Amino acid sequence: MIKEAITMHVTIIGTGRMARGISTRLLAGGNHVTLVGHKPGEAEALAEELKGTSKGGSISVGKVGKISGEVVFLAVPFGAVESIAKQYGEALAGKILVDITNPIVYQTMESIFPGSSGAEAIVKLIPESTRLVKAFNTTFAGTLLSGKVAGLPLDVFMAGDDVDAKAKITQLIEAGGLIAIDVGPLIRVRQLEAMGLLHIASQQLRNTGYMSAIKMVA
Ligand SMILES: NC(=O)c1ccc[n+]([C@@H]2O[C@H](COP(=O)([O-])OP(=O)(O)OC[C@H]3O[C@@H](n4cnc5c(N)ncnc54)[C@H](OP(=O)(O)O)[C@@H]3O)[C@@H](O)[C@H]2O)c1
């Protein structure tokens, strides 16, 4: 029996490279995307650029501090997260918050949170009812445009404590032609953030122009 695809309404905070990549995959899955920028014109420009790529989904521009739909992606530098958590406050209550950030000190290529993780720090900043899922921090923005590297669909590793929230993010990932790999509860984010850091550091050494992917094969 063919499963009917369930489309979702997703807000993306940020209008940079990852916002473009993730929006492209969400639109390919027929979802409805609302982009929120923090400087005038940026969200409008990205929405205009991506309009033509929408396959059954739609893209629009939202207002700062407002969330449309159940799922919201934080497509911003880790350093911006605290102020965004304050700015959105209770608007995040009951939502699924997807943290894609890599909290790295780029001068030394070390984690900002040795022995812990950025996601665990974010949980302390958001309403108790917000369900955090870490995902997409190991996939490079440029590779999300086609969703493939070397002809193979990208693996999107994710972790979080809420099983229902991870099931919904799995649907979004799979509808966009990617493979979702649930690696377990929030504590596993420590390893996912280390994977993200290692991927960045190793692609720099191999000079692959941020167009590589981490793949699990069996
Ligand atoms: N690039 C990748 O391949 C990749 C892969 C995995 C994970 N990530 C993670 O994804 C996140 C985004 O990376 P990116 O490459 O997309 O970065 P980017 O291209 O620099 O985009 C960042 C976006 O965040 C916006 N922003 C910054 N401060 C903000 C604030 N206070 N409120 C609202 N928006 C704010 C920026 O707007 P302005 O430009 O107007 O300031 C920009 O639209 C980072 O945490 C990164 O670690 C990136």
What is the tens place of the pLDDT at every residue in 38-59?
999 999 999 999 998 777 889 9
User: Which string of DSSP letters, residue by residue, matches 157-217?
Assistant: EEE-S-HHHHHHHHHHHHHTT-EEEE--SGGGHHHHHHHHHHHHHHHHHHT-TT-------
* Six token digits for residue 207: 């000079």
**pLDDT tens digits along 61-96:** 999 999 999 999 999 999 999 999 999 999 999 999
Residue nearest atom 18 of ligand 1, based on CA coordinates? 16
What is the whole-number distance in angstroms between the Cα of residue 35 and the centre of ligand 1?
A: 13
Which residues form ligand 1's pocket by a CB distance below 6 Å?
Answer: 13-19, 37-39, 42, 75-78, 80, 83-84, 100-102, 137, 140-141, 210
Containing 141, the helix (H) or strand (E) segment is helix 141-144
Q: Using the predicted structure, report yes or no on whether residue 121 has a pLDDT greater than 90.
A: yes
pTM over cut 0.95: yes
Residue nearest atom 31 of ligand 1, based on CA coordinates? 80
Residue nearest atom 40 of ligand 1, based on CA coordinates? 39
- The strand pair at 58-61 and 32-36 is best described as parallel
